[in-house]
Each structure stands twice: as structure tokens, then as C-alpha cells.
Amino acid sequence: MGEAEKHPQKAIPAAVQTMIVDTLGGRIQVSWDQESAATPMGQMVFFAAYLETTGLFDTWVEESPLHYTSPNAPQKRDVLGTLFLSILAGHRRYAHVTALRSDGVSPNILGMGKIVSEDALRRALGKIPEAEGTEWMRVSDNIE
């Protein structure tokens, strides 16, 4: 079975306005369709375009004091992106990260490979020394 047969494209009615938005995950076609299921964070595409233009997300990830030595460790971008999406979704507990795992759109928009588990996120953040993490977030807070 081909990819087109697995995920058939729904025709966009002529009355629906579409636009192309450049994001960290590439170009995304945005259209408003009241009948389709989509990401619960539909406006994320536009926020991701802002992050792409300013380079803020890339800088935040690159300057993070999170470092792995294991080749089996998750990608730093996936870990920090999961944290970022969780905060944007209003989550207050690690357990809420599980709700993001069904969102196949937002991680792609941020150029992530996947949403990591709540346990992987907790372990990763626990590896960041407090002083370095505090400085990283202070500097991030002052990026212009």
C-alpha cells in the first residue's frame, strides 16, 4: 500500500483560504477547515514561524547545558522541544507530557523527531546542574 493510500489527502474546498508558513520543520500549508481534526495547538505554526525568523528556539537548544554521552540518548532538540510544547500547552506536571504524544503536527513544526516520554524528560532535566540551568534560562530571558 502506497503512502497516498495510507493517508489520503482531503481536498481543500475552493472557499477555504490557505497560506504557506515557513517553520523550523519546513514549509507548512495552513488552511482553516472546521470539519478536520488538527493539532490542539493550531496557532503553533505561526509561533514556529516567529521562532524560525528570530532563531530563538535554535539558540535556546544550542546553548542548553544539557549534554548526553550515550549514543542511545534522545536528541537534545526532542527533549527540550517536548518541554517547550508542554509549557505552551499549560502543563504543570510531567505526567501531562503523555497528552502531547498524540500530536503528530507540533513536533514536526519545531523540527523535532519525536515527543520524548515524561520519564526521559524528567531524567534529562535532572542532569542539568542547577547553577548552569539557572544561568542558561537567565541568558535566554535576555535574548533580543
pLDDT, tens only, 8-61: 555 555 556 788 888 877 787 877 766 766 555 667 788 888 888 899 999 999
pTM of the model: 0.72
| pLDDT reported for residue 40 | 59
Distance CA 126, CA 110 (A): 23
What is the residue range of 25's domain? 3-141
| pLDDT reported for residue 10 | 56
| pLDDT reported for residue 19 | 80
Amino acid at site 57: F
Q: How confident is the model at residue 101 (pLDDT cuts 50, 70, 90)?
A: confident
% residues pLDDT > 90 (the chain): 35
Tally the domains of the chain: 1
